[in-house]
Amino acid sequence: MLLTPRQSQIFQAIVEDYISFAEPVGSRTISKKFNMQISSATIRNEMADLEELGLIAQPHLSSGRVPTQKGLRFYIDCLVEIDRLSKEEEDLISNIKKEYEVKKQHIRNLMKDISKTLSNVLQCPSMVTIPRLLSESFKKIQFLLLDETNLVITIVSKTGLIEHFETKIDNFGTTQEKLNEIAKTLNTLPDGFTLQQVNSALETGGGIKGAKQILSSSGMDLNNADERIFLNGTENIFKNPEFQDSENVKLFIRIFNDKEKLLKIIDDNKTRTLKNDTLILIGNELIDLESLSLGLVASEYRASTETNGIIGIIGPSRMDYCRAISLIREMATKISDIFIH
């Protein structure tokens, strides 16, 4: 779709004013606020043409215009210019990496911190997924047998990320000495070890039957939604006028807490064309969430050569995409640096 330079300028002004104030935008507002050296009548004529193209709509006969979903998609694909991060934002993101290097945080704690930071900065609900670890290689493991039915497992990734898992086991002759030998064998493997190897070693050498199922139920393989995704900042969505209606509030809470659905939406859309390596979905592109007119912005980060995770936000479809894209993309880059460097 081709717009004239003037149409493009007017359309962009409508979108950006609507993003800021969630109110229909009239010709007089555009003329004054954006200092356009053309009459209100000319602006109205151009707005009529933009309406015919399906990019904007008039909610009420006497109101201004708002961007349609088609218009928002056109704006995102063709007109969005990625903002430069402020010095404060750059420092905030860099400090996550610096703090990790000092603390050597557990994976979950790191992801919780990232999710909380992103939600606070963008004032939208955030989500961060932990990569699937079944094919990941680790460099160190330790077993601690608390008693006959409780086992603590500590694993350390090649980048120093630490995870603890406590799980219940069926002890068929398992001893701390047996578990120490298994750990010693795995820890001396030159290329590290995978969780499949842990499962196998515990079953064959440790006397723990059904180790794969036991470790899976403990969350060690991180393949179930509750273990793989962290959500933060649900309350931020309710600051927007679109969510003053109690039914919308209830629906959003129910949807945002359905982690399986959120993961499925992301996984089903990973093959879509990304803008600057960032997935952007709006309106009815978010299957089952159409009625809330939401937007999703997400980027992949690399956890290893084989695995990756997702970081993103969900907000109203009129969110500030320029800022969201730049922040999420930069944060994804920093997380990748933590994992693979």
Higher pLDDT, 22 or 276: 22
Question: Residue 59: what pLDDT?
Answer: 87
Instruction: Quickly list DSSP for 124-174.
Output: S-EEEEPPP-TT--EEEEEEEE-SSSEEEEEEEETT--EEEEEEE--BSS-
Tell whether the model's pLDDT for residue 67 goes beyond 90.
yes
Confidence of residue 253 (pLDDT cuts 50, 70, 90): confident
Q: Quote the percentage of the chain above a pLDDT of 90.
A: 26
pLDDT at 306 (0 to 100): 64
Tens digit of pLDDT for each residue in 155-193?
A: 887 766 677 778 887 766 788 898 999 999 999 998 888
**pLDDT at 113 (0 to 100):** 85
Q: Tell me the two tokens of residue 249.
A: 């509030």
Mind listing the pLDDT tens digit for each residue in 256-279? 888 888 888 877 776 665 555 788
Per-residue confidence (pLDDT) for residue 210, from 0 to 100: 63
Query: What is the per-residue pLDDT for 297?
Result: 93
**The amino acid at 285:** E
pLDDT of residue 269: 74
In this structure, the strands spanning 138-145 and 66-67 are unpaired
| pTM of this structure | 0.78
**CA-to-CA dists, residue 294 to 149, 176, 314, angstroms:** 46, 52, 7
Let me know how long the chain is: 341
Q: pLDDT class for 142, splitting at 50, 70, 90?
A: very high
* Tens of pLDDT, residues 112-125: 888 888 998 899 99
Give the model's confidence band at 304: pLDDT under 50 very low, under 70 low, under 90 confident, else very high: low
The answer on pLDDT for 219 being more than 80 is no
pLDDT band with cut points at 50, 70 and 90 for residue 56 = very high
DSSP E strand stretches across the chain: 56-57, 66-67, 126-129, 138-145, 150-157, 162-168, 229-232, 278-282, 294-302, 308-316
Q: What is the mean pLDDT of residues 212-231?
A: 64
